[in-house]
DNA sequence: ACTATAGGTAGGAAATATCCTACCTATCAA
DNA sequence: TTGATAGGTAGGATATTTCCTACCTATAGT
């Protein structure tokens, strides 16, 4: 599945935070992003590469900076993967779940 | 964040497939689950442990079998993490995105 | 042309993930 | 009680991840 890379990219808290940052504050150069993390810049570059290869960000050269921009469309795939599970947590939250389990397992 | 384990658990295609299986076909013993994968059973046991520690499945002893059951509630957390991004892919899909980017970056 | 800045790449160390086989315990069935 | 089955745990090989420092290129400013 192509979405493997997307799920793998989301496994890192750092990468999720980068996405949240780009979502809330718009496109940013690497330095501004790196300033938020207690990590050497080349390490962040690695994370950005993972996000790029998952299609979750794109880069655009502006002078000697590179603006990284959120590309949210692949996240739609994650959302769709979750869909079949939604009724389960809904049932749980409404207290209906235990009843259905008894039916399933009998 | 507690959800770190959930996102990490979802990074493996095998584990996502296990969840889908439990979702579609209800609680199952380890053997039935293992039959779906080209993998030694102890390896699958490892994957089940990861899912258990993320709170995504629970086990119940029944005779000498252990029924694994989907616990979907932690997935709600993933869904909520996605919420802020939703408007971005919506805009993209409706063709509105490029317009907003021009505003952001100017 | 020279210097400083932005940021990618190389290479390596340490930690973690993913698979295996071998082995152990618990339960069922004869 | 003895044998077979379900499934977890141990330990190890290999691959991947995640971080680092050192280095390189490209652009901007003087």
Select the residue of B7, B13, B75 nearest A11 (Cβ to Cβ): B7
Which residue carries 């655009």 as its tokens?
A: A60
Distances (CA, A) of B86 to A23, A74, B36, B65: 10, 11, 34, 42
- Over residues A17-36, the mean pLDDT reads 97
Q: Where are the domains of chain B?
A: 4-105
- Over residues B74-101, the mean pLDDT reads 83
Interface test with A, best of B24, B63, B72 (most A CBs within 10 A): B72
Q: B9 near B51, Cβ under 8 Å? A: yes
* Residue A11 pLDDT > 70: yes
Give the architecture (CATH level 2) of A4-105. Answer: Orthogonal Bundle (1.10)
Q: What is the pLDDT of residue A97?
A: 53
Q: What is the pLDDT of residue A50?
A: 98
Q: Where are the alpha helices (DSSP H) in chain A?
A: 4-10, 13-25, 30-34, 41-53, 73-93, 97-105
Q: What is the pLDDT of residue A106?
A: 43
Q: How confident is the model at residue B91 (pLDDT cuts 50, 70, 90)?
A: confident
Interface test with B, best of A20, A51, A61, A76 (most B CBs within 10 A): A76
Q: What is the pLDDT of residue B89?
A: 84
Burial, A62: exposed, middle or buried (Cβ in 10 Å; 0-12, 13-18, 19+)?
Answer: exposed
Average pLDDT over chain B reads: 91
Query: Which residue has the least CA–C1' distance to nucleotide C8?
Result: A45
Q: What is the pLDDT of residue B67?
A: 98
Q: How confident is the model at residue A95 (pLDDT cuts 50, 70, 90)?
A: low
pLDDT digits (tens, 9 = 90+) for B13-64: 999 999 999 999 999 999 999 999 999 999 999 999 999 999 999 999 999 9
Q: Of residues A96 and B66, which shows the higher confidence score? A: B66
Q: B41 near B30, Cβ under 8 Å? A: yes
CB atoms within 10 A of CB A35: 10
Among chain B, residues having any CB pair with chain A shorter than 8 Å are 1, 4, 7-8, 10-11, 13, 16, 19-20, 23-24, 26-27, 67, 69-70, 72-73, 75-76, 78-79, 81-82, 84-86, 88-89, 92-93, 101, 104-105
B10 contacts in chain A (CB < 8 Å) = 7, 10-11
pLDDT digits (tens, 9 = 90+) for A30-82: 999 999 999 999 999 999 999 999 999 999 999 999 999 999 999 999 999 99
Q: What is the pLDDT of residue A89?
A: 84
Through-space separation of residue A23 CA and nucleotide D27 C1' in angstroms: 28
Average pLDDT over chain A reads: 91
Q: What is the pLDDT of residue B106?
A: 43
């Amino acid at each position: 599945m192509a979405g493997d890379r997307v799920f793998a990219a989301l496994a890192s808290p750092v990468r999720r935070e980068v996405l949240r940052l780009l979502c809330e504050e718009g496109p940013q150069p690497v330095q501004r992003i790196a300033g938020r993390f207690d990590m050497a810049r080349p390490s962040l570059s690695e994370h950005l590469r993972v996000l790029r290869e998952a299609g979750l960000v794109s880069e655009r050269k502006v002078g000697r900076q590179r603006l990284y921009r959120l590309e949210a469309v692949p996240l739609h795939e994650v959302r769709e993967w979750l869909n079949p599970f939604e009724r389960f947590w809904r049932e749980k939250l409404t207290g209906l779940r235990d009843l259905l389990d008894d039916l399933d397992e009998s």
